[in-house]
Structures are given as C-alpha cells and as structure tokens.
Structure 1
C-alpha cells in the first residue's frame, strides 16, 4: 500500500467551565488531534483500498498518545470519538479507512476502553467543519457523556487530502442532568452498559 504522507498536524483544546449554570471548579476538557494527509486514492476509483488501514495504524497511535498527553494522562480520559473529512477528489469510503486505525489506536493507548468509538465522516472543501460525536470510553449508554466537538482546519482538506481526527474528553458535559446510566454505575462488560 502507499506511504502515509503527512502535510501537517493540528491540536485543538477547549476548557468549558459552564453552560449557563454555576461555573464548575474543574472544567470539561475537550481535545482534538488532527492530521492532514495525502489521499493516495484521490481522483480515481480504486477497488482495493482496505490495506491502507494498516498503514494508518501508527498515525492513529501517534494522535491518541498526543491526546492522552494533552489531557494529562490516561486516568483523565472519559470520552472519545473519531472522524474524517475527505477532500473533493476523494470519496466517502476513503474516510471510512479511519474507522479501524483511529478507533483501535485509542483503545490500545487507553488500555481498557470497552465502548465502540463513535464516528462521522464527510466529503468537503478546505475549511469544512465536522462535528465529531463523543461517548463514554467504557459504556456507550452513559448519557452525561453524549457530546460532540466541532473540528476543522482553514486550509484543509485540499482536494487530494484526508483530514483525520481523534477526540478525547475529560468528563461529562458541564451541568449534565438528563438522567440515564451514570458513569459510576457502569458494568463494563460489553461496552454498552
């Protein structure tokens, strides 16, 4: 398969203290690590693309490690998600190549994460924004951790590029109060509950 050609990295960090209620003494931290890479399949239909997922695995690990360092260690990570924006000369399926290397990288770096990593992807022009969904790392039904982070880069992706994203968060939404499974009640057996 082709080499992974990186044009640039990006890191975006948000610290949220309140959403209209009393400020929290500890902010929710949302962080996104991004990589803009050349799309080796841009401009043509290639029937056999699956092997490129293996080539992306080291990049997934690198981005996941950057996020863990940004959040101050594995013990500070409670939520995650992933996404991809495909440049205009590519196709949506090229963004799907990020599912395995992005998701498994975060699980590997975090150690014991059980939940499926939520994902989104789209085709877009430079400057396109993407809302990356987030759920709890060990149980997808923990409502307090249903969240999203908007990401993007002003010059990316160019037509022949992919913008690949991993997101991690430090906890629930600020002022979460819509009930459901609580994080301290997770059974952690199947990644759902």
Structure 2
C-alpha cells in the first residue's frame, strides 16, 4: 500500500447555540490517504473485474491504522461510543473503489473487533477533487437503534484526495448529539399507515 498521508482531528463541543450542551461530547476523525490501487501509472482506469485482491491485502492495515488514530484521539477503546465511516475517491477513480474498502469484512470486522463494537458501521462515499467535504454518519457501536447517536461529522483534507488517491475515513464520538432529546423506539407509540387513512394521499384515495 502506498500510504501518502494520515490525518487525525478532534473537536470537543463545549457550547451549542451559545449555551453549555446537555452532553459534553468529543468527536474525532481518522483519515488515511493512499494511492488508488486500481489506477495505472498513466491515470487510466484499471478495468480488472474483481476488486477483492487489493482489498484483502490493504483493508486490514487501514483498519488497524484508523482505529488506532481514533482510539488515541478519543482516549481509549471504551471512550469510542459511536462510529461511522466514509470514503472520498479522487476524480480518476470511481465511487466503487471507495465502497470496496468500506463494505468488506477485511475492514469492517477488524474495526468492530478493535473498538469492541457489534453494530453495522454507517457509511457514505463521494467522488471529487482535493478538499471535497464528506459528512460521515455515525451510530452507537452497540445499540444501533439509539436515535440520540444518529449524527454526522464533516470531514475534509486539504490537497487530498488527488485524482489518483482515495481518502478512507473513520469517525467516532464519546457520546450522543450534544442536545439529544427526541425520544427513542422504546418510547414511541405504535404508528402505522392506517393511522392516517383520512390523509388525502392515503393509498386508494382518488387524487
């Protein structure tokens, strides 16, 4: 793997809308910028069918690198309460190249085991020039249905990814959204479509 840059950043949210938040939270992002293995030296797209050989070779190393950065930034494995991932692919690549590193057990299972997690890792990807912003989604690492942990963290890297690069991102947080207070599935009433049978757009009504 040709690793070209690693980035770690964190922020502690001390004020939210001018007042101390209900939850003091630290969020962090770990980024690995590396040469896209599916591009030839000329920058032309490599048309090989299977992406797995490069993923199997590289993804575990990326998982170890990014989890270690996140653990160091947030203060230990137990401090990482929520997590998420994303990828920014340089313009000579394709979005599938970013997806290949995210949606594989060679990355995801290593991340979960390193962080003591059990849930699916929320993800997103985008293709764009250097400095492209990606909002990486997050969710609780043990309780996937906890709405108070549904949020995203904006991440970008100056001068990356270059056209032949991929920026793989892992984000995490020490707690829920700063002022989370919208309830959860355990407190929801039972709601079905039939509760709105009088709605003008209810199925079967004349439009």
3-state SS of paired residue (1:128): coil
Question: Deviation above 3 Å: which 4+ runs of structure 1?
Answer: none
Match of 1:110 in 2: 115
Residue 38 (structure 2) pairs with residue 33 (structure 1): no
Computing the radius of gyration from Cα coordinates, the structure with the larger value is: 2
Unmatched 5+ stretches in structure 2: 187-207
The residue number in structure 2 matching 1:17 is 14
Where 2:52 maps in the other structure, the secondary structure is coil
Alignment correspondent of 2:146: 142
Give the corresponding residue for 1:54. 56
Output the TM-score relative to the length of structure 2: 0.81
| Correspondence for 2:191 | none
Deviation at 1:46, TM superposition (A): 2.2
1:94 aligns with 2:97: yes
TM-score normalized by the length of structure 1: 0.86
Report the secondary structure of 2:56's partner residue: helix
Whether contact under 8 Å (2:90, 2:163) holds in the other structure is: yes
Instruction: Give, in whole Å, the separation in 2 of the partners of 1:52 and 1:80.
Output: 25
Shift of the alpha carbon at 1:133?
0.3
List alignment gaps of at least 5 residues for structure 1.
183-193
8 Å contact kept, 1:81–1:132? yes
Equivalent pairs counted in the alignment come to 178
Structure 1 residue 21: Cα displacement: 6.4
Whole-Å separation in 1 of the counterparts to 2:150 and 2:23: 19
Whether 1:75 and 2:78 are equivalent positions in the alignment is yes
CA deviation vs aligned residue, 1:108-142 (integer Å, no higher than 9, x gap) = 1112x111000000111111010000000012210
| Residues 64 and 109 in structure 1, CA contact (< 8 A), matched pair in contact too | yes
1:172 to 2:176 alignment: yes
